[in-house]
């Protein structure tokens, strides 16, 4: 999860988020090089007294500064499209969980089980235990198995919401009357926090998401205890 004064993105927990981090660094380096070049040219034009009239009208220079930006855009677009298609792929999910947004809490249903569903409310600040995080803890966590492909079906019963978990690279809108889907897979166990990322009313800030990723044998014990 994020920590105070953090400048970068959260640590990646899924392969998709790792790809997004690499793409972020790749694009940031291109932007940094372009900014440095422009700053250098501006400072050069302000400090030198020489004016190359023949260079400013040269056909070769115009050709270069037309083709070079096109090449740079291709270098950004190709990795972006690759990640976009990777995020849309759904490869035989092992588990399906339906998520419904409400004002202002989330409800979850494990559709592969007959009767496994619950609501997830934020724990008020006055009821927090030592070590728990304000505005992020919930009374019922979403327990999922790690290293398995999980499909999330996301919708809403009232207004627009957005189900977002940054460390997994997930952000999917919950729209009334529409069922959106996304996939997640965690490469390590742990607690992963998220929040509603769509302004949905007065208590928008008070509907957190907590995913607890555990090994498969612990998930089976948990699901048996919930039935």
The C-alpha atoms of residue 200 and residue 207 are separated, in whole angstroms, by 10
Boundary of a domain, candidates 88, 104, 126 = 88
pLDDT tens-digit series, residues 63-120: 888 899 999 999 999 999 999 998 888 778 999 999 999 999 999 999 999 889 999 9
Boundary of a domain, candidates 28, 60, 88 = 88
- Are 63 and 106 contained in the same domain? no
CB 139 within 8 A of CB 123: yes
Domain of 52?
Answer: 15-88
pLDDT tens-digit series, residues 149-198: 999 999 999 999 999 999 999 999 999 999 999 999 999 999 999 999 99
For the chain, how many structural domains are there in total? 2
- Are 203 and 184 contained in the same domain? yes
CATH number (domain holding residue 206): 2.60.40.420
CA distances from 62 to 37, 168, 192 (A): 17, 44, 51
Q: How many CB atoms lie within 10 A of CB 169?
A: 23
Q: Is residue 108 part of a domain?
A: yes
Boundary of a domain, candidates 88, 120, 146 = 88
Q: Is residue 109 part of a domain?
A: yes
């Amino acid at each position: 999860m994020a920590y105070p004064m953090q400048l970068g993105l959260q640590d990646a927990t899924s392969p998709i988020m790792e790809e997004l981090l690499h793409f972020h660094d790749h694009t940031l380096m291109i932007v940094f090089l372009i900014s440095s070049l422009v700053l250098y040219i501006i400072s050069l034009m302000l400090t030198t007294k020489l004016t190359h009239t023949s260079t400013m009208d040269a056909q070769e220079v115009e050709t270069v500064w037309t083709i070079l930006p096109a090449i740079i855009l291709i270098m950004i677009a190709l990795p972006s499209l690759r990640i976009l298609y990777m995020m849309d792929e759904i490869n035989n999910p092992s588990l399906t969980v339906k998520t419904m947004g409400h004002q202002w809490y989330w409800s979850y249903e494990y559709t592969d089980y007959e009767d496994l569903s619950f609501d997830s409310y934020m724990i008020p600040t006055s009821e927090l235990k030592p070590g728990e995080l304000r505005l992020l803890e919930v009374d019922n966590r979403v327990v999922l198995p790690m290293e398995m492909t999980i499909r999330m079906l996301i919708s809403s019963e009232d207004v627009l919401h957005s189900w977002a978990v940054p460390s997994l690279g997930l952000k999917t809108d919950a729209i009334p009357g529409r069922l959106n889907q996304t996939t997640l897979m965690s490469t390590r166990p742990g607690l992963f926090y998220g929040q509603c990322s769509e302004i949905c009313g007065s208590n928008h800030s008070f509907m957190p998401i907590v995913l607890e990723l555990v090994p498969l044998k612990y998930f089976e014990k948990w699901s048996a205890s919930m039935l």
